[in-house]
Amino acid sequence: MEDFDTQSARESGASRGFAIATFAGGCFWCAQADFCKVEGVLKVTSGYTGGDTENPSYEEVCSGRTGHVEAVQLVFDPRRVKYERLLEYFWEHVDPTDPGGQFVDRGPQYRSAIFYHNEEQREAAEASKRMLIDSGRLKKPVVTRILPFSKFYEAEGYHQDYNEKNPTHYNHYRFFSGRDQFLAKLWGKVDEVDGGGKAKE
């Protein structure tokens, strides 16, 4: 993954051919770690979106009263990875049937959502959601919302790349969250858990 300033990437993205995508998939530590693995994704930033409070802190968002969700914002190169593939990857890494959060994390700040940045993204997101529903893979209704993007607030520095900065705590949290066990059962694959049942370093 390339190392460059996210704000600069946002500002010069159009001229460089880059695009922005924003997803909420529960704990942003996990979502960031997952999307960083995708070829063509240049930068993943943890943050907050979808609420009304200006410049919310982690503690304020955790209260569930600001309307924000934990989310990740991606800078990606559409010549290397299509937005449709990012949507597929998103669905493969969340429980889209959970209205109360994601896995062990409960509360409105952990609900799943896709935030579209333009009409093309909205249409692609709606189509991908319909495909998931029609697939019959899920036994419960898909409750993940598709919403217009408004504003993204970058999370505090200690939350960025948390899996790399605090691998022991992150791996322990991820394993016991039940995320990968659920994904393994639904999709038949696991990204973060090895055959011995331990989270990978």
Predicted local confidence at residue 13, as pLDDT: 53
Average pLDDT score over the chain = 89
Flag whether pLDDT at 43 surpasses 60: yes
Residue 30 appears among annotated catalytic residues: no
Predicted local confidence at residue 188, as pLDDT: 81
Predicted local confidence at residue 195, as pLDDT: 34
pTM: 0.88
Mean of pLDDT values over 138-159:
97
For residue range 50-61, list pLDDT tens digits in order.
Answer: 999 999 999 999
The CATH number of 6-160, from 3.40.50.720, 3.30.1060.10, 3.40.50.850, 3.40.47.10, is: 3.30.1060.10
Predicted local confidence at residue 201, as pLDDT: 34
Flag whether pLDDT at 134 surpasses 50: yes
Predicted local confidence at residue 101, as pLDDT: 97
Mean of pLDDT values over 121-144:
96
Give the ranges where the chain is alpha helix by DSSP (H).
Answer: 6-16, 28-35, 58-62, 83-91, 119-135, 162-165, 167-177, 179-187
For residue range 78-111, list pLDDT tens digits in order.
Answer: 999 999 999 999 999 999 999 999 999 999 999 9
Q: Using an 8 Å Cβ cutoff, are 21 and 86 in contact?
A: yes
% helix / strand / coil in the chain, to the nearest 5?
40, 20, 40
- Active site residue: 27, 30, 36, 62, which one? 27
**How, if at all, do strands 112-116 and 145-148 pair?**
parallel
Q: Using an 8 Å Cβ cutoff, are 73 and 47 in contact?
A: yes
Predicted local confidence at residue 16, as pLDDT: 78
DSSP 8-state class, residue 108 = G
Question: Residue 194: which pLDDT band, with cuts at 50, 70 and 90?
Answer: very low
- % of the chain residues with pLDDT over 70: 86
Flag whether pLDDT at 140 surpasses 90: yes
